Amino acid sequence: MPERSSRRRARRAAATLTAVVSVATVALTGGCTTDEGGAAPGAAAPRSPSPSPAFSWDASPASLAAVGDSITRGFDACSILADCPEVSWATGSDASVRSLAVRLLGTSKAATRSSNHAVSGARMAQLPEQMALAAQEKPELVTVMIGANDACRDSVGLMTPVAGFRASFEASMRQLRATAPKAQVYVSSVPDLKRLWSTGRENPLGKQIWKLGICRSMLADADDMGAAAVARRDAVRERVVAYNEVLREVCARDERCRYDGGAVFDYRFTGKQLSEWDWFHPGRDGQARLAEIAYRHVTAAAPPA
């Protein structure tokens, strides 16, 4: 009987020792177990992938492609009712303008490393096609200036709806990114057409040219200050403001896109900057001012606040 009791006491002591050893083992290993897909006890925690480096705007791109409308084609800057791309603010070669391409690339390189796909009369609906052509060249910078023709229609009712304007600009950016995902984009605001009317109407010859049908929604009956005419011009200006808000919003969603912050819209063009042929489109001096604005924003350390 005493022998049996001794054996029971020995078994209880052994069980107690086993439990103590198990608890100590768990404490030393921190209670780690191998879960499904997890690390084994004592294994180093897996490293998270390194974050992609943040995009940094290149203030000195080595190639440029321009898309847009008659302003970028230098329309009416050299002769009446004709394009003059050599004075284009974006890609022109004229020494008095010093286009953005010349300022960024130098005169010799600008001739071979820049291209102008803008089309006089183009509206935002035509921009995706232009952007596709520009993207094929894999430019480091694409300049965009378009929208005036969407507001410059024969009547207010024919102006491009804001929703359609937005859809076409978004499609243009998708078109670019599909082929040239790393291209930077500089987007100019649409000029204040009402300010151009106010300045240009001081010139009798210019007003005669306007009668040929240039931007009738804004320029028709240039001296009419009646309530209906004032309301019509205000409606055009409001639509331009809405277009610029679209340009700002869509551009802001793309880290490689920089909007001018309304700089062109806010610029106070005078008769000196307007075409001597129609007193509405930029002349050589006006093209030079647009080049200055673009260069300032493209080379700035940060986009406009």
Q: Which has the closest alpha carbon to 182: 144, 136, 129, 138?
A: 138
Name, in order, each residue with C-beta under 8 angstroms of 85's C-beta and a sequence gap of 6 or more: 73, 74, 91, 92, 116
Q: Which CATH number goes with the domain that contains 127?
A: 3.40.50.1110
Q: Tell me, what amino acid is at 234?
A: D
DSSP secondary structure letters along 107-173 = HHHHHHHEEE---TT--GGGHHHHHHHHHHT--SEEEEE--HHHH-SSSGGGSPPHHHHHHHHHHHH
Q: Does 85 fall in a domain?
A: yes
pLDDT band at 49 (very low <50, low <70, confident <90, very high): low
Better-scored residue on pLDDT, 24 or 215? 215
The sign of the torsion formed by the CA atoms of 272, 273, 274, 280 equals: negative
Q: Does 89 fall in a domain?
A: yes
Above 50 in pLDDT, residue 223? Answer: yes
Place of tokens 């603010």: 89
Q: What is the mean pLDDT of residues 12-35?
A: 40
Q: Does 281 fall in a domain?
A: yes
Q: Does 57 fall in a domain?
A: no
CA angle 56, 147, 128 (to 5 degrees): 65
Strand 141-145 vs strand 64-68: parallel, antiparallel, or unpaired?
parallel
- Distance CA(63)–CA(104), nearest Å, equals 9
The whole-number pLDDT of residue 76 equals 95
225, two tokens: 């200050």
The answer to whether 190 touches 147, Cβ cutoff 8 Å, is: yes
- Distance CA(292)–CA(289), nearest Å, equals 5
The whole-number pLDDT of residue 305 equals 80
Better-scored residue on pLDDT, 45 or 171? 171
Question: How far separated are the first and last CA of the chain, in Å rounded?
Answer: 95
Q: pLDDT digits over 61-114, tens only?
A: 999 999 999 999 999 999 988 999 999 999 999 999 999 999 999 999 999 999
pLDDT band at 48 (very low <50, low <70, confident <90, very high): low
Q: Does 8 fall in a domain?
A: no
pLDDT band at 2 (very low <50, low <70, confident <90, very high): very low
Neighbours of 73 (CB within 10 A): 27
Across all residues in the chain, what is the average pLDDT? 88
Place of tokens 């909007």: 259
- Distance CA(41)–CA(208), nearest Å, equals 88
Q: pLDDT digits over 226-277, tens only?
A: 999 999 999 999 999 999 999 999 999 999 999 999 999 999 999 999 999 9
pLDDT band at 221 (very low <50, low <70, confident <90, very high): very high
Task: Give the dihedral of Cα atoms 127, 132, 136, 141; nearest 10 deg.
Answer: 40
pLDDT band at 34 (very low <50, low <70, confident <90, very high): very low
The answer to whether 275 touches 81, Cβ cutoff 8 Å, is: no
The whole-number pLDDT of residue 23 equals 36
Residue 259, classed as helix, strand or coil, is strand
| Residue 250 belongs to domain spanning | 64-298
Domain count, the chain: 1
Q: Does 199 fall in a domain?
A: yes
pLDDT band at 205 (very low <50, low <70, confident <90, very high): confident
Percent of all residues in the chain with a pLDDT value above 90, rounded to a whole number: 79
Q: What is the mean pLDDT of residues 156-168?
A: 98
Q: Does 95 fall in a domain?
A: yes
pTM: 0.82
Q: Does 28 fall in a domain?
A: no
The whole-number pLDDT of residue 32 equals 37
